[in-house]
Structure 1
Amino acid sequence: MEQVEIVVAHHERATVRVGGVFLKIDADQTRTDVEVEAMALAPIPTPRVLWRKPPVLALAAVPGRALGRIGEPSSASSAAWAAAGAAARMLHDAPLPPWPSSRFEDLPARLDGECALLVANGVLPADLVARNREVAEAALRRPSPPVFAHGDLQIGHVFVDGDEVTGVLDWSEAGRGDALFDLASLTIGHEEHLDDLVAGYGTDVDLDVIQAWWSARSLLAVRWLIEHGFDPFMPGCEVDVLKSQM
């Protein structure tokens, strides 16, 4: 008998796996609407939609394994990282979807609010927050023509088999957005693989902006992770990323 594996679970959504089927349960069906439409438009491998009966979306498992996990060394080859870069470039070169990514809505105001809460609640030292907010400004003030962005292209969402990308998961934040945010999301905590990723991406990339997005994404994530039962203070995770900017 096949067992039920809990992939991720918190009060906003949960994903469980039964054999070769992933069941995603989301209280906000607008996120599922975005995910289904984005996967249909994306020119790169995505999970196959088996069926949908709100609040559940059933997806077929993709072959291979995740490129890695934040806080853990990636065992994927340089060629696999380059393939991930090439897939990101293919996505960013695709026609724009008709909706903006929610990831970038009111971003400066959200970031300032998050920084204030991190300091007021004693989650992080004020100097650490201030330094990373300063670094993040390079990303916020950069004029960036919108691309078809995944919006949450973290390392655990890109699956590879050998040196080939077999599937990109979790498209609920997809839409028109910043290309370098995707590249930064994929390499956060894995700076040593940035050169391979950029080689596969195949164009000049502003590394200062990548670094700025590392700060911005980490600042925005720390409190959410704590509140949802994750630990951003683990070695190699978001707080270490913030400390590296000092």
Structure 2
Amino acid sequence: MADDVEVVVAHRERATLRVGDVFLKVDGDADQADREVESMALAPVPTVRVLWRTPPVLALAALPGRAIARLGEPSTASAAAWRAAGAAVRSLHDAPLPPWPSRRGSTRGEALAGECDWLVSYEVLPADLVDHNRGLAERALRPHEPAFTHGDLQCSHVFVVEDDEVTGVLDWSEAGRGDPAYDLAVLTMGHREHLEDVLAGYGADVDLDAVRGWWSLRSLTAIRWLMEHGFDPFAPGCEVDVLRSQV
């Protein structure tokens, strides 16, 4: 019997399909796809096995285990699993820097003012909620020592098994030199109750104001894009709830 084709995610930048145990990632930016493959080769953490590459398609094997959590859903993973995730992030941040910057952190900082104005002008969110979170977001925009960052370390991109071992990290399309606090913030966004576990595994001093600032900054700058691409930032536990939790 033929395997069904599942659309995992699809938008104007890229799409990912699943056919059985194979994931087919279609990216119109060949340079970005090249950087993703190179980032996985350089990263000192488990990643996804590349099966083949024929631009614009990258074929990847499925990872064992399950995502540590998903935004908008309660995490069923143990505290030990979150600590293991923190340890994996630390090993990545301690690795030699890649030669290219991550696009995610810096571009969000540049977009902050315009996105906040849009959210208020179109009455997407109350002005006081936007203003409060904008003040928090600006704490993330401080000088920092760059690290090898994943750039989009959503909790759904980190896979673990029952014995609380990280089996792999997905989606390295935004990897590069960046702010280590950004990775920690994205991993724990919507699951702030596990920040302490992640930091215990991370085992290094972390600017907590910067992490919390990135929670606000990523949420504020993502809402318009999510709405335009068919996602719902107002869903329980997602970006708008993250902003409310910061008040």
Report TM bin, short chain: over 0.9
> Retained in 1: the 8 A contact 2:108–2:221?
no
What amino acid maps onto 1:18 in structure 2?
V
Residues 90-169 of structure 1: pairs in structure 2 closer than 5 A? 90-141=91-142, 143-162=143-162, 163-169=164-170
The 10-residue stretch of structure 1 (122-131 or 39-48) with the greater mean CA deviation from structure 2: 122-131
Matched, 1:68 2:54: no
Q: Which runs of 5 or more structure 2 residues have no equivalent in the other structure? A: none
Q: Distance in 1 between matches of 2:126 and 2:229?
A: 21
Q: Distance in 1 between matches of 2:32 and 2:232?
A: 24
Deviation of 1:217 after TM superposition, in Å, equals 0.6
TM-score, normalised to structure 1, is 0.96
RMSD in angstroms over aligned alpha carbons?
Answer: 1.1
**Matching residue of 2:176:** 175
Deviation of 1:130 after TM superposition, in Å, equals 1.0
Deviation of 1:108 after TM superposition, in Å, equals 3.1
Residues 1-246 of structure 1: pairs in structure 2 closer than 5 A? 1=1, 2-141=3-142, 143-162=143-162, 163-246=164-247
Q: Distance in 2 between matches of 1:78 and 1:91?
A: 20
Deviation of 1:245 after TM superposition, in Å, equals 1.7
Number of residue pairs matched by the alignment: 245
Deviation of 1:106 after TM superposition, in Å, equals 4.5
Q: Percent identity among equivalent residues?
A: 70
* Cα deviation code 1:162-220 (max 9, x no counterpart): 20000100011100001111000000000111111000001122222211110001011
What amino acid maps onto 1:146 in structure 2?
P
> Retained in 1: the 8 A contact 2:109–2:217?
no
* 4+ runs deviating over 6 angstroms: none
Deviation of 1:6 after TM superposition, in Å, equals 1.4
* Cα deviation code 1:54-102 (max 9, x no counterpart): 1111011110111110000000111110000000000000000000111
